[in-house]
Copies of this chain bind each other. A is one copy, B any other.
């Protein structure tokens, strides 16, 4: 008998998964380790920025009143009493018609209230002349003008990228409170699977999903325990799955989720008492994608078909991992593009098509990576986006506007909108 499963819409499946993706707590780590993590504390300005009145230019720090009346035919002379490089402070206040030579980023000396840029002065022995007056405050970056002490600058839940690190460094966050990262368990199932280094034998193929998922986890900086490959044996497979769940924060299996005689994942979920969130999604490829929950751990039963496995990971597993990591923008960015080729198949289910988007003078164009039979195999290794064709549509022509989701994008979005 063929088991009948009721397909649920992709958006519902995404929502169900995300409802069960729970943060794992927080930890303190060194600033050098923080790239790609998610902030578990906001970044607060721990002091004013700039922390002191400073010069934005190389030039001369003066009292503006000494420049009063300066003009091309009425040059004012000032005497240089010292030099302040960035990182130094002037050792005495300036007096009448005195100035410091000052460098970009250096602290304004006492009594000075303006900076003359080098190119605004005519240098001469021991000093310089001016031919225009300066106002109080001219060319000075005032203490606190960019940020006031105590200001909230970046929110909890933000992904740390290089610019975030610059801000953390500015305020002395040598240690940063971040959300813990989950550790994945990975198990590839299927009696047909060989290791990558094995010679082909009749009826068998090499395991490509396991290495691919490790790559998808590497891309996110997520550590994993690999449980290798399991043949389609219910008892043996159950015990490996049980061990993997115990040792990991979530489990990814590939294969074994269809309705065939050797598709044991449904039986394993039942044996272990896992709650199946869904076992059929109205999508192609990957309609058999199954997600279950045991305790607080998500069990991702991805399809054994490589394209479906890839898509299932990016649609469900990736945002769940980002949510476990505390992230608030876990979904792939979406945009629209012109379809670069006809796609005549009907789409009873939402269809995800690996594609390459490019910028053209006519706008963004997305060309499927594998429409031609000749590149069906290589399509998984091509492309930078997924074309999304809604269920219930018939066919699309070249030039039609379609939605795409960007793959391999560091910054995500907070809502699933398809």
Contact = CB atoms under 8 A, between A and B. Distances in A.
A101 B199 CA distance: 27
Interface string A174-213: 1000000000000000111100111110111111111111
B261 A85 contact: yes
Nearest to A209: B166
A216 B164 CA distance: 11
Given A169-B207, A169-B211, A260-B104, A163 B85 contact: no
* Number of copies of this chain that the complex holds: 2
A212 B376 contact: no
A232 B85 contact: yes
Interface string A110-121: 000000001100
A151 B377 CA distance: 11
Nearest to A216: B162
B146 A193 contact: no
A377 B146 contact: yes
Nearest to A147: B377
Contact of A377 (B167, B306, B310, B373): B167
Interface centre among A83, A364, A373, A380 (most CB of B within 10 A): A380
Interface string A362-394: 011000000001111110111110000000000
Interface in A320-349: 333-336
A381 to B, nearest CB: 4
A215 B51 contact: no
Contacts of A203: 52, 84, 86-89, 106-107
A258 interface: yes
A212 B163 contact: yes
A381 B163 contact: yes
B413 A410 contact: no
A200 B260 contact: no
A157 interface: no
Interface of A: 1-2, 31-32, 34-36, 43, 45, 47, 49-52, 58, 83-89, 101, 103-107, 118-119, 123, 145-147, 151, 153-154, 158, 160-174, 190-193, 196-200, 202-216, 218-219, 231-232, 258-262, 304, 306, 310, 333-336, 354, 358-359, 363-364, 373-378, 380-384, 406-411, 413, 417
Given A50-B205, A86-B191, A89-B202, 11 more contacts: A34-B215, A35-B214, A86-B232, A86-B262, A105-B190, A147-B376, A153-B381, A163-B310, A164-B381, A333-B384, A336-B359
10 contacts: A36-B219, A103-B260, A146-B373, A154-B382, A166-B215, A171-B206, A172-B197, A172-B199, A359-B417, A384-B411
